[in-house]
Chains A and B, each alone.
Chain A
Amino acid sequence: DAGVIQSPRHEVTEMGQEVTLRCKPISGHNSLFWYRQTMMRGLELLIYFNNNVPIDDSGMPEDRFSAKMPNASFSTLKIQPSEPRDSAVYFCASAKTGYGYTFGSGTRLTVV
């Protein structure tokens, strides 16, 4: 079991640029979650998918953020255009319904 795989591990980009974060969930897991972690706000759920369908995106901060899950083995979180306040660690997690989540190692995003 390779776990939840996120890429890249680190991303530094200039304000205004588009950023795409990627996630490969654990095979057989039917739920996928995107979180953002900052010192000020802790861990915040941004969006979650069940069986590839977005169920709740109420945590997505604004329209600059979008997430897709085209199939059961891949998801992306896109920020366009990026802003310095988007700097954070973004985690992807996956789960089988009714079980705790398994997190990836995260992507540390820095927007300068």
Chain B
Amino acid sequence: SQQGEEDPQALSIQEGENATMNCSYKTSINNLQWYRQNSGRGLVHLILIRSNEREKHSGRLRVTLDTSKKSSSLLITASRAADTASYFCATLRASGTYKYIFGTGTRLKVLA
């Protein structure tokens, strides 16, 4: 079953613009992660945010978490053509099982 749902499903922006994608989930979580996947490749871990954190930064990435709304957002600032990829959120439920549930992803295209 899918825990996370990303929004939008697809996003196309110009190089230099900011890209924002959102993830909503259904149950209480331990933490939430964001991953990037280039076409036909494995996923690359970007950032992990715990349920007691509200915001984290890593380079050009900014992640926020609102547990009251069961949602998270990933902001990529000053986007580059190399940021073109699919982005997935993954949630670890607070129930103690050590398996992440992935969303359906946002396909980001950055136009040069």
Do A and B assemble together?
Answer: no
